[in-house]
Amino acid sequence: MAEVYNWQLKRKMEFPYEESRPQRQIAYVFDTNKCIACQTCTVACKTTWTSGKGQENMFWNNVETKPYGGYPQQWDLNLLRQLNGQKWNKASETYEGKTIFEDVPEGETVNGWRPKERDYAYPNMGEDECAGIVEKGAFFTGIHSIWMFYLARICNHCTFPGCLAACPRKAIYKRPEDGIVLIDQSRCRGYRECVKACPYKKTFFNMVTRVSEKCIGCYPLVEKGEQPRCVQTCIGKIRMQGFISRHDQPRRDNPIDQIVRIKKLALPLYPQYGTEPNVYYVPPIHVPREFLYQLFGPGVDNAIETYRNIRDDKELLAAFLLFGNSPKIIHSYKTDGSYAIGYDEKGNVVTRVPFTEPIYVRPYYDDKVKSFRHNTP
**Is residue 347 close enough to count as binding other proteins by CB under 8 A?**
no
Write the secondary structure of the chain as one string of H (helix), E (strand) and C (coil).
Answer: CEEEEECCCCEEEEECCCCCCCCCEEEEEEEHHHCCCCCHHHHHHHHHHCCCCCCCCCCCCEEEEECCCCCCCCHHHHHHHHCCCCCEECCCCEECCCCCCCCCCCCCCCCCCCCCHHHHCCCCCCCCCCCCCCCCCCCCCCCCCCCCEEEEECCCCCCCCHHHHHCCCCCEEECCCCCCEEECCCCCCCCCHHHHHCCCCCEEEECCCCEEEECCCCHHHHHCCECCHHHHCCCCCCEEEEEECCCCCCCCCCHHHHHHHHCCCCEECCHHHCCCCCEEEECCCCCCHHHHHHHHCCCHHHHHHHHHCHHHCHHHHHHHHCCCCCCECCCEEEECCCEEEEECCCCCEEEEEECCCCCCCCCCEECCCCEECCCCC
Give yes or no for residue 299 binding other proteins (CB under 8 A). no
Q: Is 193 in the site for other proteins (CB under 8 A)?
A: yes
Does 2 bind other proteins (CB under 8 A)? Our answer is: no
- What is the contact mask toward other proteins in residues 65 to 104, using x (rule: CB under 8 A)? ----------------------------------------
Integer Cα distance of 89 and 87 in angstroms: 7
Q: Which is nearer to other proteins, 186 or 376 (CB)?
A: 186
Cβ–Cβ < 8 Å for 322, 240: yes
Among 11, 24, 192, 352, binds other proteins (CB under 8 A): 192
Query: Considering the rule CB under 8 A, would residue 204 count as an interface residue with other proteins?
Result: yes
Applying CB under 8 A, does 109 fall inside the site for other proteins?
Answer: yes
**CB 189 to other proteins: min, Å:** 5
Q: Which of 51, 145, 309, 348 binds other proteins (CB under 8 A)?
A: 51
Q: Does residue 220 interact with other proteins by CB under 8 A?
A: no
Among 152, 166, 287, 316, binds other proteins (CB under 8 A): 166
Residue from 28, 205, 307, 333 binding other proteins (CB under 8 A):
205
Mark the segment that binds other proteins (CB under 8 A) among 18-26, 163-171, 277-285, 298-306. Answer: 163-171
Q: Which is nearer to other proteins, 119 or 257 (CB)?
A: 119
Residue from 217, 318, 222 nearest 262 by CA: 318
Contact status: 168 vs other proteins (CB under 8 A): yes
Q: Is residue 308 involved in binding other proteins (CB under 8 A)?
A: no
Q: Which of 56, 177, 223, 345 binds other proteins (CB under 8 A)?
A: 56
CB 333 within 8 A of CB 340: yes
CA–CA gap between residue 252 and residue 335 (Å, rounded) = 12
Name the phi and psi angles at 271, rounded to 5. Answer: -60, -25
State the minimum distance, in angstroms, from the CB of residue 78 to other proteins: 13
Q: Which residue among 12, 189, 246, 286 contacts other proteins (CB under 8 A)?
A: 189
Number of residues that bind other proteins (CB under 8 A): 43
Question: Site for other proteins (CB under 8 A): which residue of 19, 117, 223, 336?
Answer: 117
Considering only 23, 185, 338, 348, the residue that binds other proteins (CB under 8 A) is 185
CB 16 → other proteins: shortest distance, Å? 9
194 lies in the binding site for other proteins (CB under 8 A): no
Of 81, 90, 144, 187, the one binding other proteins (CB under 8 A) is 187
Position 209 contacts other proteins (CB under 8 A): yes
Please give the residue ranges that form the binding site for other proteins (CB under 8 A). Answer: 47, 50-57, 106-109, 114-117, 119-120, 166, 168-170, 184-193, 195, 204-211, 213
